[in-house]
Amino acid sequence: MNTVIRTIFIILLLSAATAEIRAQEGLHSASIFQKYGKQKGVTMVELSKDMLDSYRINLYKSLVFKDVTEELPYILEKDRKEGTMKKLQEIVEDGKLLTAYYQLPQLKKNNQTLNRFILFKVGKKNSATFIYIEGNLNSDELVALLFQRKN
């Protein structure tokens, strides 16, 4: 009986992981969460849909790196060159990607069409933030949300 329960639990766990990976299917940058999410010096945040509903966001995942790897901009560049991402904004200084906002192809999910975005920013002392967002908001709404002033 324990074997049956354990097998069912493993199947449920794998199917949940597969559904999340499918959201970023076809992207080289999807590997960033898998590869770096649990490494030392990296903080991973995933917010629940309940916390995000008021922003019209279905999924928010981010990684904050204490010391960014040179591989991250290369992975983003691969997706951009393959046409899987539309560049909204990039800031490159001395040949190094510092800030990037990309829009991914829309995703059909649960009778909804979701917009998807990747945000990347290198901070002070070689730290970096990598964010994946999907939801009903458009690029203008995302920019307004990111740059809104707090009271």
Distance between CA atoms of residues 95 and 106, nearest Å? 30
Total-model pTM:
0.75
Q: What is the pLDDT of residue 19?
A: 38
Q: Please spell the DSSP secondary structure of 112-147, one letter per residue.
A: EEEEEEEEEEE-GGG-EEEEEEEES--HHHHHHHHH
- pLDDT tier for residue 115 given thresholds of 50, 70 and 90: very high
What was the pLDDT predicted at 23? 47
* pLDDT tens digits, 73-102: 778 878 777 777 888 888 988 888 889 899
Q: Are 114 and 132 in contact (CB under 8 A)?
A: no
Q: Which residues pair with 129 in a beta bridge?
A: 64, 121
3-class SS at 78?
Answer: helix
pLDDT at 149: 56
Contact 96, 73 (CB under 8 A): yes
In this model, does residue 121 exceed pLDDT 70? yes
pLDDT value of residue 29: 75
Structure tokens at 132: 């994946």
